[in-house]
């Protein structure tokens, strides 16, 4: 068992009295006060998350663009510097190695942001698949800190409290800027369905950013508990729940991020086959008639037959409804299909619905 | 500091029972609600269900996790606290006032196996 890691903000979480729990190999804050208040702060005002556990990998070299096109499902060809893409790395089977963000920093220079639990696996995968490419793959995960500042007032607080100009950034773009004696990176991205930003920099920069925003009393420290309820409500996937080595992006309903018209990428053949032949399983949304809570792994049934399992479920904080995403037999994927979820031995009825249980409020 | 009330009986799994005559009101303790966080659903038994001391009779769910409810007593459920169906958060507001089920006790001698307030306070430390 590897020793559990700490982020550069660990002592601050302890000082705030956070409930801590292991996540992705790190000892992370689940909540500071309670999940509902933290969730609502992000929906209606502003919250800050320590996401320093995320991994960062810099890809450079003459073949950097060609290489990223090879391992990544989205199409970055010809993109301007400052643009960000969401997509996946796939196995040849079409199963998912990880979902990630690719930041184009410049010609043949890319910054990849990957899931904490997958850092070692992804880095190995990137190296294994770099043969024949003139690239340098640099795992910089340990030198970066990262905070996500999320909510409708995020722009205002970043500009007024940190003095970092960000209103001109469009959704899924970033800029690098000088702050003190270091270059930091700020992007208009997030994982909550709200407008917001992510700031990458040294541990010192991350600590001082945290102190200024939290110390202002305006920006609420938010734990991974509400990060999950927020992303879930707007239908965003979590690797391990809605995506895995066993679940393809097509099955997860994320085909828009897989560009099969690209000449080549790992997993393309399997994806093309799935798109041609159709899929046998699909991630759908289910809304229950009552308030019982469907949780990861619970069975979904129709007429006494198990047709799949819940991937993530909650009593949605923003809507009050009990809802879940579930990977089910594609024969039952049609919206409005009556299904049941087995919760504490009892069957609870619901219907198949869209995965977006709450509308996103991105600033585009 | 979690509240503990004198005169109630307690379990190690953090349920309480308040006895009135031949009936017992069963719920979770203030300590239990503080550990669970926001309660968002209570899976309650039905009236006329038989419950057995030491066995599961339902669950309390917070945003993040489900926690089984273990009955401190045996008997027949005569009432469930229906207010919790629409407002499970009442358990966070006052866990002792918001009992989950009222049981007609079949064996009052079972109460001697439960903890009193003083003993329960010790295990919450």
Q: What is the pLDDT of residue A2?
A: 65
Q: Let me know whether A207 and A61 are in one domain.
A: no
Residues of B contacting chain A (CB within 8 angstroms):
37-38, 40-41, 43, 58-59, 61, 63-64, 66, 85, 88
Q: Let me know whether A122 and A64 are in one domain.
A: yes
pLDDT-based confidence at residue A3 (cuts at 50, 70, 90): confident
Query: Is A3 among the domain residues?
Result: no
| Owning domain of residue A192 | 10-52+144-233
pLDDT-based confidence at residue B101 (cuts at 50, 70, 90): very high
Q: How far apart are CA B116 and CA B125, in angstroms?
A: 15
Residue of A nearest to B84 (CA): A291
Q: Let me know whether A58 and A88 are in one domain.
A: yes
Looking at residues A76-86, what average pLDDT do you find? 97
Q: Let me know whether A192 and A202 are in one domain.
A: yes
We report the CATH number of the domain holding residue A218 as 3.30.1360.120
Q: Let me know whether A200 and A93 are in one domain.
A: no
Q: Let me know whether A166 and A45 are in one domain.
A: yes
How many CA atoms lie within 13 Å of A153's alpha carbon, on the beta-carbon side? 16
pLDDT-based confidence at residue A44 (cuts at 50, 70, 90): very high
Query: Is A120 among the domain residues?
Result: yes
Q: Is the pLDDT of residue A1 over 70?
A: no
Mark which residues 297-336 of A lie under 8 Å from B by CB: 314-315, 317, 322
Return the residue matching tokens 């700490």.
Answer: A6
Q: Let me know whether A19 and A58 are in one domain.
A: no
Provide the domain count of chain A. Answer: 3
Tell whether domain B10-105 is in CATH 2.40.50.100.
Answer: yes
Q: Let me know whether A158 and A299 are in one domain.
A: no
Q: Let me know whether A269 and A285 are in one domain.
A: no
- Please return the burial class of B117, using the count of CB atoms within 10 Å of its CB with bins 0-12, 13-18 and 19+: middle
Q: Is the pLDDT of residue A76 over 80?
A: yes
Partner-chain residue, chosen from A295, A317, A346, that has the shortest CB–CB distance to B66: A295
Looking at residues A85-95, what average pLDDT do you find? 98
CA-based nearest residue to A106, from A174, A164, A154: A174
Q: How far apart are CA A172 and CA A149, in angstroms?
A: 14
Residue B108's alpha-carbon distances to B4, B15, B75, in angstroms, are 22, 17, 10
List chain B residues with CB under 8 Å of A225: 63-64
Looking at residues B49-69, what average pLDDT do you find? 93
Query: Is A138 among the domain residues?
Result: no
Query: Is A308 among the domain residues?
Result: yes
Burial A16-43 (b: 16+ CB within 10 A, else e): eebbbeebbbbbbbbbbbbbbbbbbbbb
A173 three-state secondary structure? strand
**pLDDT by residue (tens digit) across A196-244?**
999 999 999 999 999 999 999 999 999 999 999 999 999 999 999 999 9
Q: Let me know whether A196 and A302 are in one domain.
A: no
- Please state, for a pLDDT cut of 70, what percent of chain A lies above it: 99
pLDDT-based confidence at residue A84 (cuts at 50, 70, 90): very high
Least confident of A99-108, A280-289, A354-363: A354-363
CA-based nearest residue to B99, from B123, B77, B67: B77
Partner-chain contact A344 B58, CB within 8 Å: yes
End-to-end Cα separation, chain A, in angstroms: 44
ipTM, interface predicted TM-score of the complex:
0.76
Q: Is the pLDDT of residue B63 over 80?
A: yes
Query: Is A358 among the domain residues?
Result: no
Q: Let me know whether A78 and A122 are in one domain.
A: yes
Partner-chain residue, chosen from A36, A295, A346, that has the shortest CB–CB distance to B38: A36
Rounded to two decimals, what is the model's pTM?
Answer: 0.91
Q: Let me know whether A196 and A211 are in one domain.
A: yes
């Amino acid at each position: 068992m590897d020793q559990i890691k700490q982020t550069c903000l660990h002592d601050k979480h302890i000082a705030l009295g956070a409930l801590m729990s292991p996540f992705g190999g790190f000892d992370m804050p689940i909540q500071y006060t309670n999940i509902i208040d933290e969730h609502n702060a992000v929906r209606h005002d502003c919250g800050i998350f320590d996401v320093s556990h995320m991994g960062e990998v810099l890809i450079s070299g003459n073949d950097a663009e060609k290489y990223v096109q090879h391992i990544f499902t989205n199409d970055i060809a010809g993109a301007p510097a400052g643009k960000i893409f969401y997509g996946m790395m796939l196995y040849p089977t079409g199963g998912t190695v990880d979902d990630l963000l690719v930041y184009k920093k410049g010609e043949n220079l890319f910054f990849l942001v990957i899931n904490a639990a997958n850092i070692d696996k992804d880095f190995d995968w990137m190296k294994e698949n770099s043969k024949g490419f003139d690239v340098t793959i640099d795992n910089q995960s340990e030198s970066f800190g990262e905070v996500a500042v999320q909510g409708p007032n995020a722009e205002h607080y970043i500009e007024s409290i940190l003095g970092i100009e960000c209103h001109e950034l469009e959704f899924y773009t970033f800029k690098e800027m000088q702050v003190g004696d270091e270059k930091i990176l700020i992007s208009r991205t997030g994982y909550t369905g709200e407008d917001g930003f992510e700031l990458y920099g040294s541990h010192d920069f991350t600590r001082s950013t945290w102190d200024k925003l939290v110390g202002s009393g305006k920006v609420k420290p938010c734990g991974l508990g509400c990060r999950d309820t927020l992303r879930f409500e707007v239908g965003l996937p979590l690797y391990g729940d809605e995506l895995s080595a066993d679940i393809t992006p097509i099955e997860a309903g994320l085909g828009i991020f897989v560009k099969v018209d690209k000449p080549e990428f790992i997993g393309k053949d399997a994806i093309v086959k799935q798109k041609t032949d159709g899929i046998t399983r699909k991630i759908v949304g289910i809304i229950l008639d009552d308030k019982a809570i469907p949780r990861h792994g619970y069975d979904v049934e129709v007429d006494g037959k198990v047709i799949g399992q819940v991937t993530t479920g909650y009593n949605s904080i923003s809507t009050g409804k009990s809802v879940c995403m579930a990977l089910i037999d594609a024969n039952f994927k049609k919206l409005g299909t009556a299904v049941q979820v087995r919760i504490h031995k009892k069957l609870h009825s619901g219907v198949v619905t869209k995965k977006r249980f709450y509308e996103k409020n991105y600033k585009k | 500091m979690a509240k503990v009330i004198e005169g109630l009986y307690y379990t190690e799994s953090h349920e309480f029972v308040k006895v009135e005559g031949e009936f017992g009101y069963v719920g979770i303790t203030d300590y239990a609600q503080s550990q669970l966080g926001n309660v968002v659903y209570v899976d309650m038994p039905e009236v006329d269900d038989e419950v057995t001391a030491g066995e599961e009779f339902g669950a309390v769910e917070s945003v993040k996790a489900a926690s089984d409810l273990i009955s401190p007593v045996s008997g027949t459920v005569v009432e469930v606290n229906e207010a919790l169906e629409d407002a499970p958060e009442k358990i966070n507001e006052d866990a002792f006032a918001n009992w989950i089920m009222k049981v007609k006790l079949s064996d009052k001698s079972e109460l001697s196996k439960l903890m009193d307030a003083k003993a329960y306070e010790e295990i919450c430390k």
